[in-house]
Structures are given as structure tokens and as C-alpha cells.
Amino acid sequence: MQNNQPERNINLKLRYIAKAFVVLILIIASAVIVYCMGGTGSAFAHIMYLPIILSAYYFGIVGSVVTAILGGLALGPHMYENVSSELMQQSSIWIVRLIVFITFGIIISLLFMRIKGYEKEEAERSHVNLLTGLPNANKLKVDLDELIESKTEFSLIGFRIENINNIKQNISYETGVKSIKKALEILSELTDSTAYSIDDNTFAIVLPSGRIENAQTLGERFLYKTFEPVLIDQIKIGLLIKCGIVNFPLHAEDSYEMITKINMVLEQAKGEIGLYIYNGVLEKKSKSRSELVPHLLNAINNNEFYLVYQPKESIIDDGTISVEALLRWNNPTIGQISPSEFIVTAEEIGLIGEITKWVIKNVIEQKEKWKKTGLDVKIAFNISPKDLNNNSVMNYFIEVINNKELDLSLLEVELTERAVLENREIVIMLFNALRKIGIKIALDDFGTGYNSLINLVQFPADHIKIDKKFIDNITENTYKLVIKYTIGSAHRLGRKVVAEGVETKEQFDILKNIGCDYIQGYYISKPILPDELEDYLASKSPCQPV
Ligand code: C2E
Ligand code: CA
Ligand code: CA
């Protein structure tokens, strides 16, 4: 934030001179008023306190003493005590007045110093993040305003540790704080720019007059440097970092917009890591999110939801082990909306519980319908992490399974690895309770959480579903090795492994070779409507629920 410094110094000097000039004029004006009003014997002699007070405020002790001396001399030996009778003052009177002026100047400037000290402390406090000790978003805003005023191009680079909550919950809060400090330390090795804490886990630096490409290079170097696990209190911690870039004047016009947009960039693709540059699509997305809400509130009542089912099959003999119920929403005004989009919104507005109940109800109804036609297929359904702390959903689920005559081993609950990590205790209890009554549990999106192999040991899930991102890259040797190792570890712990999002024969063959148990993906079937699924299953060997 060093540019424009000479210009700023000149401005400061000019202001200083202007203030001194005002004080001088006030001294002269006061002396003239005293003279016109009859001399120092009149009460108007006190008017000289005004320039002294002003000078104490502007310039502190030295300024107020100089002003007191000038003021005292202006009302000194040459000034009449009484102008009309041309009576001069006794020396002792004007000397005492001079001393009183000086003493007054010193006291009043000490008072001002005290008040300004408080103000400064307060301003500093409001500009600092208490956890990191770094300048905060208020200070960032002030500094951005200055840069924007100077109309130079600059970029704001933000970053956030995506797995910070996992680190705080699974290791310790202190380790979380140390991880943040470690990341900031690595950043400071790459740049001299000041780091700001936008909040406890969102940081930003400003690259003045930096082109967007420079910001990109810095962001990439930072990500590269934090790719290796860092050592904190003898523990190796993997930091999953997301960086975002917003450029002035390319993406924003003022400081408020810049800070809002850097938050938007960091909010996108929650949990993902990497470097993201702001683009307008983001804004459209979050706008349409607020458009979704009024429609979403009525979606259940207006019967706009329906379920599709996607089979999971054994990799050895293509027998269907279960089908996963996936929610679909078709709104007459805004059309078909993907669950990846509306589930998040439903979670944000507290509607997810009602949606999960709807899913449970419909899954059970479908189950009973299929049973009547002789199709005894296991159905898996997804629940949201928000449901775990929602008694109404849990009670509804218990009530439904108690009141219906269901083969509970033909039900499976899918919960993402990340949801599991954020609700550790409650999830272990729930998993144990569900397994006791025969309901199977699958750990969804496996591999996207923090320290996945430890989670494998700690959570009593029946199946783990390796996330599609790993399968997408399975033709690369390192990915293949990681998947093979994960499958081996899962097997040793008695868990079965499902590969998600299998799309090609090549992926299928590799998975078969490295011992994966089950697969799900477009290679076998897309999610399909219940009657399509009936036809699909009729053409195959009987289901083999596991
Ligand atoms: P998920 O549970 O991981 O579901 C897998 C997603 O991958 C589904 O997307 C599925 O259609 C898609 N998929 C499956 N195989 C392939 C493939 O070979 N290639 C590609 N490109 N995609 C494949 P979908 O149905 O859009 O659901 C997205 C996510 O929304 C789900 O991820 C799940 O997290 C959530 N979701 C869906 N239905 C529900 C629900 O009823 N309740 C809750 N809480 N979440 C749901
Ligand atoms: Ca799932
Ligand atoms: Ca998944």
C-alpha cells in the first residue's frame, strides 16, 4: 500500500500550513476584538483562549505553548488595559496572563492527547482480527478504498482452509488455529503484501498494480507450497486450501463489491480446493438461488418432487445389489433443477428436514409397491447432515419403520463422509443404532473428507462409496494405486466398496482388476424412473441385496 506516498506527504504539509494559518488569523482577530471592545480590562480578553484550544487540538503541546506565547504577547505590553482612557497594563498583569495562557495550553493539549489516544486505540481495535492479530475486513476496506481512489489496477487474493472445521473438531481447536498461522507463514514467504483476516478463516492480500496473471501465479505458488502436509505439534496435517481472485477494475467498482465478490468466489464449490477467478456466472447463480426459494417452499405441496433410481451392481456378475433413490424437482416456472443446487438452498432455509421426510415416505411407499409385485430390491436413500440434528426427521424415520412391516435389511442410508466428520458423535451413535436393526449404511463421496483412512476405521459403515472424482482419474497410475490401497484397507476392515460415477469400460475393467466390489454409474445405468427400473431389472438376473 505504498504508492502515492509523495502526493500524500504534500497534501499533509499543505493541510498543516492551512491549520497554522487559521490559528494565526484567530490570534490576530482576537487581539483586534479585545482592542475594539475596550482593552484587556474587559471580559473579551478571554477570547484568546480560542486559538490556544484550537492549536492544542491541531498541534499538541508545542503548538499550544507557541500559540499561548503569541496570544499572551498580542495582549501584552503594547495593549491598553482601557483603550478610551489610554490606560496601559502593569507588566505583572500581562506576564501573569501569559503564564496562565501557557499553563492552560499545556493542560488542554494533554487532555486532547488523552482523548485522541482512546480514539486511536478504539480505531486500532476495530481494525484488527483478535484471533490472528492481522488487520481485519474494516481495515481492508479502508485500504482498498485508497487504492480504488488512485485508480490503479490491483487484485485481491483471498484464501480459506476448507478443512479447518475438521481439523478443529478431529484434532483440536488449537491445532486449527496453528494451521491458520502456518498457512499465513507460508504465504508471507511468497509475498511482502500485508495479509488481512476477513474472518477467522478467510484471508486476503492485495497485490497493488498487479495484473491478474501475477495474482494467479502467486495463488498457484501458494497452493503448490501448501500441497505437502505441514507439521504442527508433531502431527502431519493436510491443509485443503481454496484461493480466489477478484480484480479491480475488471470485476468490481468499489471496496464493498470486492470483499463481497471474494467471499462469493470462496463460497463456490464448497469443500473443493484450487484457484478460482471471479466470473459473472457466480453472481447469476446466487441470484437464481434467491429465485429458487419461493418455488422451493411450495414444491412439496405442489407435488413437484419425484424420485429416480440408479442401480448399484456387483462387479463380478452384474447382479443388482441395491438401487439409490435420487431426488428430482420439476417446477412449472423454472423447469428442472438439479439436486446439487436445490439441496444446498433447502439446507440453508431449513427446509431440508421436510424434504428428507418426503423422500423417506416415498421410498417406503415404493418399497411396498415393489414388494407386492415380487420385486424385493434394496433401496438406498440420501440424508443431509442437517437431518442428523433434527429430531423431527429422526422421529419420523423411527415412526415409519416401526409402523410398517418392512424388511429393514432392504434399506440403506447414504451419508457423505464430510457430513459424518462434522457430526462425529451423533453419527457413530446413529450408525450403531441403524446397524442393530439391520439397516445398512454407506459412506458417500468417500475420499473427499479429511484423513479418509482414519474415518474408515472409526465409522461403522457397511459400504464406502469412492467419490466420482477418483474414478474419473483412475486411468492415472497414482489414482489407481490410491483406490487400490483404499479398497484393500476397506476389505481388511470388513467393509464393501462401491465405485461411484463409473462411465467407461476402461474404468470398469481397472476397478474389477483391483478388487472393487460394486459399481454405480452411467456405464451400467443412469438414474431412471420406477417403471423403467422395473423393465431394467426384469431383463437381468434376480437382485442380490448385500
Ligand atoms: P450423490 O449422492 O453422490 O449422487 C450421485 C450423483 O452422481 C447423482 O447426481 C447421479 O445422478 C450422478 N451420477 C451417477 N452416476 C454418474 C455417472 O456415471 N456420471 C455422472 N456424470 N454422474 C453420475 P444427482 O442425482 O444430480 O444428485 C447430486 C447430489 O444431490 C447427490 O450426490 C446427493 O448428494 C444429492 N441428492 C440427491 N438426491 C438427494 C436426496 O434425496 N436427499 C439428499 N439429502 N440429497 C440428495
Ligand atoms: Ca448418494
Ligand atoms: Ca456420491
pLDDT score at 287:
55
CB 319 within 8 A of CB 541: yes
Final residue in a domain of this structure, among 226, 252, 278: 278
Please enumerate in sequence order all residues whose Cβ is within 8 A of that of 433, keeping only pairs 6 or more positions apart, or say none: none
Which residue is closest in CA terms to ligand 1's atom 2?
A: 382
Q: Residue 147 sits in a domain of what CATH number? A: 3.30.70.270
In a domain, 132, yes or no: no
Q: Record the cell numbers describing residue 518, joined without a space.
A: 460394486
Q: Residue 328 sits in a domain of what CATH number? A: 3.20.20.450
For residue 445, which ligand has an atom nearest its CA?
3
Residue 218: closest CA among 133, 140, 154, 163: 154
Q: Is 498 in the pocket of ligand 1 (CB under 6 A)?
A: no
- Residues 256, 318: one domain? no
Q: Is 383 in the pocket of ligand 1 (CB under 6 A)?
A: yes
- Residues 363, 505: one domain? yes
Q: Is 503 in the pocket of ligand 1 (CB under 6 A)?
A: yes
Q: Give the H or E element holding residue 399.
A: helix 391-403
pLDDT score at 162:
86
If one counts the domains in the chain, the total is 3
CB 418 within 8 A of CB 347: no
- If one residue of 324, 382, 420 were mutated to test the ligand 1 pocket, choosing by the most ligand atoms within 8 A of its CB, it would be 382
Cα(222)–Cα(216) distance, integer angstroms: 10
Residue 39 CA to ligand 3 centre (angstroms): 92
Q: Is 527 in the pocket of ligand 1 (CB under 6 A)?
A: yes
Q: Is 64 in the pocket of ligand 1 (CB under 6 A)?
A: no
Final residue in a domain of this structure, among 126, 154, 189: 126
CB 233 within 8 A of CB 178: yes
pLDDT, mean of each 10-residue run, the chain (546 residues): 57 88 96 94 92 94 95 92 90 94 95 86 76 88 90 91 86 90 93 90 87 85 82 85 90 91 84 77 63 86 96 92 96 88 85 95 95 92 91 90 87 90 83 89 86 79 93 92 94 95 96 97 95 90 72
Which residue is closest in CA terms to ligand 1's atom 23?
A: 501
- Residues 527, 384: one domain? yes
pLDDT score at 3:
45
Please confirm whether the linkage preceding 332 is cis (ω < 30° from 0). no
Q: Is 345 in the pocket of ligand 1 (CB under 6 A)?
A: no
In a domain, 155, yes or no: yes
Residue 326 CA to ligand 1 centre (angstroms): 6
Cα(53)–Cα(122) distance, integer angstroms: 24
* Atom number of ligand 1 nearest to Cα 503: 18
- Residues 59, 205: one domain? no
In a domain, 546, yes or no: no
Residue 444: closest CA among 347, 320, 312, 251: 312
Residue 268: closest CA among 190, 354, 158, 168: 158
Q: Record the cell numbers describing residue 424, joined without a space.
A: 462425529
Cα(113)–Cα(107) distance, integer angstroms: 10
Residue 484 CA to ligand 2 centre (angstroms): 21
CA-atom Rg of the chain in angstroms: 36
- Residues 413, 463: one domain? yes
- Residues 408, 447: one domain? yes
Q: Record the cell numbers describing residue 150, joined without a space.
A: 488512485
In a domain, 214, yes or no: yes
Work out the number of other CB atoms within 10 angstroms of the CB of residue 326.
17
- Residues 145, 122: one domain? no
Helix 391-403 vs helix 352-372: crossing angle, to nearest 10: 10
Cα(501)–Cα(514) distance, integer angstroms: 17
pLDDT score at 271:
61
Q: Is 380 in the pocket of ligand 1 (CB under 6 A)?
A: no
Q: Is 167 in the pocket of ligand 1 (CB under 6 A)?
A: no
Q: Is 467 in the pocket of ligand 1 (CB under 6 A)?
A: no
For residue 524, which ligand has an atom nearest its CA?
1
Residue 337 CA to ligand 1 centre (angstroms): 12
CB 51 within 8 A of CB 86: no
Helix (H, G, I), strand (E, B) or coil at 527: coil
Residue 419 CA to ligand 3 centre (angstroms): 12
Q: Record the cell numbers describing residue 99, joined without a space.
A: 503564564
In a domain, 495, yes or no: yes
In a domain, 545, yes or no: no
- Residues 383, 296: one domain? yes
User: How big is the CA angle at 34 (ends 24 and 80), to the nearest 5 degrees?
Assistant: 110
Helix (H, G, I), strand (E, B) or coil at 15: helix
pLDDT tens by residue, 339-354: 988 998 888 778 899 9
- If one residue of 310, 323, 326 were mutated to test the ligand 1 pocket, choosing by the most ligand atoms within 8 A of its CB, it would be 326
| Secondary structure letter of residue 169 according to DSSP | H
For residue 442, which ligand has an atom nearest its CA?
2
- Residues 64, 109: one domain? yes
pLDDT score at 7:
66
Please enumerate in sequence order all residues whose Cβ is within 8 A of that of 96, keeping only pairs 6 or more positions apart, or say none: none
Which residue is closest in CA terms to ligand 1's atom 21?
A: 501
Q: Is 447 in the pocket of ligand 1 (CB under 6 A)?
A: no
Final residue in a domain of this structure, among 67, 99, 126: 126
Q: Is 323 in the pocket of ligand 1 (CB under 6 A)?
A: no
- Residues 398, 533: one domain? yes
- The whole-model pTM stands at 0.59
* Atom number of ligand 1 nearest to Cα 523: 18
CB 313 within 8 A of CB 542: no
- Residues 233, 198: one domain? yes
CB 72 within 8 A of CB 98: yes
Q: Is 394 in the pocket of ligand 1 (CB under 6 A)?
A: no
Range of the domain at 116: 2-126
Residue 473: closest CA among 441, 515, 450, 502: 502
Residue 504 CA to ligand 1 centre (angstroms): 18
In a domain, 189, yes or no: yes
Residue 465 CA to ligand 3 centre (angstroms): 7
In a domain, 96, yes or no: yes
Q: Is 472 in the pocket of ligand 1 (CB under 6 A)?
A: no
- Residues 363, 508: one domain? yes
Q: Is 338 in the pocket of ligand 1 (CB under 6 A)?
A: yes
